Amino acid sequence: MNLLVYIRTVLWSFIGIGRRSGSGEDLARVKPLGLFAVAIVLLVVFLVTLFGLASLAVSTLQ
């Protein structure tokens, strides 16, 4: 399991860009359960970061 392949695949799907020629190759190397787990972890990290930035912005306005 190459974690960087999973992270790159998930981030490219979040952004919505990628090479069509390489997408099939990437999907052949990853397992769906691992891809799902990495996607959930990256989503939680993104949401916590977004919430933290919003809280910081609101606290500086008060």
Q: What is the pLDDT of residue 61?
A: 83
As given in the structure block, the two tokens for residue 21 are 């020629």
Print the domain residue range for 14: 3-61
Residues 14, 42: contact at Cβ < 8 Å?
yes
d(CA 13, CA 34) in angstroms, rounded, equals 15
Query: pLDDT tens for residues 9-57?
Result: 888 888 877 666 566 666 777 888 998 999 999 999 999 999 999 999 9
Q: What is the pLDDT of residue 46?
A: 94
Q: What is the pLDDT of residue 18?
A: 65
- Number of structural domains found in the chain: 1
By 3-state DSSP, what share of the chain in percent is helix, strand and coil, each rounded to 5? Answer: 85, 0, 15
d(CA 11, CA 29) in angstroms, rounded, equals 16
φ, ψ of residue 33 to 5 degrees: the values are: -65, -40
